[in-house]
């Protein structure tokens, strides 16, 4: 079942700049510039892109905060801005800069208030809260006023607040940014569990590579407001030529070695250790045969491609062309 359907979505901002005492100039920023996207129920989608790519603007349009400049969009069968109230009951939102919690109330009371806002039956509320309490370890600070919570504790509270009314879709803008290691793990574990159940659709933006690896089964990358990749993590590796790394140690320092193997680059040579980067087309066997022939090979380590490498190549490369 399709939960999010977006066709040719655009958001253009006009910025007026003072260029002299009497003159102003208008420039147009195409924050989102023709995005097509279909998301099925239960998908866990990473919506990625470099700074200023248009991620938050897209999320704001999907959640009814911003009116699109053009295109069509439907979330849970509703049009976000005109049907914002009905949509609010069907989605959950965690945006770093906005809070669903009451600053001066203990967390527990904030949740109770939300129960009334969303008119959730008491039994359902208790069940949903119990799950979040267990999975996000909330009990130690459930009676603490929100303003006294750490960032990690507050984010766990925000996630709970977004989920208590059992939304069909949850939108998360940078859910792990600034969190300590333990809170990051708690949030990721929770989202992984939520995603695995398959009934909640999750759309998240993140710059955190561990979030991407752990959570995002599908990755949509945008740049300059346009989709430049839509697929799984392995597809991303394949498309952007992610590189394996081969590190070899010799008994004696090696000098003047030239390795003429297609797709293999010698990246570093330090004493007895050499490091090679291999394009996806390169054969490790060919490289090793060449190195064995040199003599004195002691040790070999092969590291799988790093997501960091792939994403930075994607964000910085000129190969990122819009998906048809």
Ligand X SMILES: Nc1ncnc2c1ncn2[C@@H]1O[C@H](COP(=O)(O)OP(=O)(O)OP(=O)(O)O)[C@@H](O)[C@H]1O
- Binding region for ligand X (CB under 6 A): 13, 15, 29, 31, 49, 51-57
d(CA 169, CA 45): 11
The minimum distance between CB 95 and ligand X, in angstroms, equals 10
Tokens for 174, please give them. Answer: 């940078």
Q: Which is nearer to ligand X, 47 or 250 (CB)?
A: 47
The minimum distance between CB 9 and ligand X, in angstroms, equals 12
Q: Which is nearer to ligand X, 114 or 310 (CB)?
A: 310
Identify any residues that bridge with 246 across adjacent strands, giving them in sequence order: 276, 302
Tokens 């569990």 belong to residue: 193
Identify any residues that bridge with 6 across adjacent strands, giving them in sequence order: 37, 73
Q: Which is nearer to ligand X, 31 or 101 (CB)?
A: 31
Q: How far is CA 264 from CA 70, 172, 243, 277, 286, in A?
A: 46, 39, 9, 6, 10
Identify any residues that bridge with 39 across adjacent strands, giving them in sequence order: 4
Cα 164–chain centre separation: 22
Tokens 């003599």 belong to residue: 295
The minimum distance between CB 304 and ligand X, in angstroms, equals 27
d(CA 194, CA 172): 13
The length of the chain in residues reads 324
Q: Which is nearer to ligand X, 49 or 152 (CB)?
A: 49
Q: How far is CA 273 from CA 125, 215, 262, 276, in A?
A: 59, 35, 21, 10
Q: Under DSSP, is residue 130 helix (H, G, I), strand (E, B) or coil?
A: helix
Q: Which is nearer to ligand X, 27 or 255 (CB)?
A: 27
Q: Which is nearer to ligand X, 9 or 53 (CB)?
A: 53
d(CA 9, CA 297): 56
The minimum distance between CB 24 and ligand X, in angstroms, equals 15
Q: Which is nearer to ligand X, 29 or 233 (CB)?
A: 29
> Using CB atoms within 10 A of its CB, is residue 85 exposed (0-12), middle (13-18) or buried (19+)?
exposed
The minimum distance between CB 66 and ligand X, in angstroms, equals 8
The minimum distance between CB 254 and ligand X, in angstroms, equals 43
Looking only at Cα atoms, what is the longest distance across the chain?
76
The minimum distance between CB 52 and ligand X, in angstroms, equals 4
């Amino acid at each position: 079942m399709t939960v999010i359907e977006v066709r040719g979505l655009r958001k253009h901002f006009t910025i007026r700049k003072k260029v002299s005492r009497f003159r102003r100039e208008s420039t147009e920023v195409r924050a989102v510039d023709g995005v097509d996207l279909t998301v099925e129920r239960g998908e866990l989608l990473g919506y990625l892109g470099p700074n200023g790519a248009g991620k938050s603007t897209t999320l704001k349009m999907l959640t009814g905060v911003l009116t699109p400049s053009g295109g069509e969009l439907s979330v849970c069968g509703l049009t976000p801005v005109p049907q914002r109230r009905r949509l609010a009951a069907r989605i959950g939102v965690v945006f770093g800069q906005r809070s669903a919690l009451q600053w001066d109330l203990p967390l527990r009371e904030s949740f109770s208030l939300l129960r009334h806002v969303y008119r959730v039956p008491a039994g359902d509320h208790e069940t949903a809260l119990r799950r979040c309490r267990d999975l996000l370890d909330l009990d130690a600070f459930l009676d603490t006023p929100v303003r006294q919570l750490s960032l990690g504790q507050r984010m766990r509270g925000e996630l709970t607040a977004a989920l208590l009314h059992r939304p069909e879709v949850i939108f998360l803008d940078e859910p792990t940014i600034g969190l300590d290691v333990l809170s990051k793990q708690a949030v990721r574990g929770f989202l992984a569990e939520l995603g695995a159940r398959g009934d909640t659709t999750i759309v998240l933006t993140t710059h955190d590579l561990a979030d991407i690896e752990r959570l995002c089964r599908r990755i949509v990358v945008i740049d300059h407001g346009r989709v430049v990749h839509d697929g799984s993590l392995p597809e991303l590796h394949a498309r952007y030529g992610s590189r394996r790394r081969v590190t070899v140690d010799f008994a004696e320092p090696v000098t003047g070695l030239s390795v003429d193997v297609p797709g293999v680059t010698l990246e570093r040579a330090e004493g007895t250790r050499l490091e090679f980067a291999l394009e996806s087309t390169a054969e490790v066997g060919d490289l090793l045969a060449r190195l064995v022939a040199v003599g004195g090979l002691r040790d070999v380590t092969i590291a799988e491609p790093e997501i960091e490498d792939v994403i930075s190549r994607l964000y910085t490369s000129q190969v990122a062309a819009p998906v048809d």
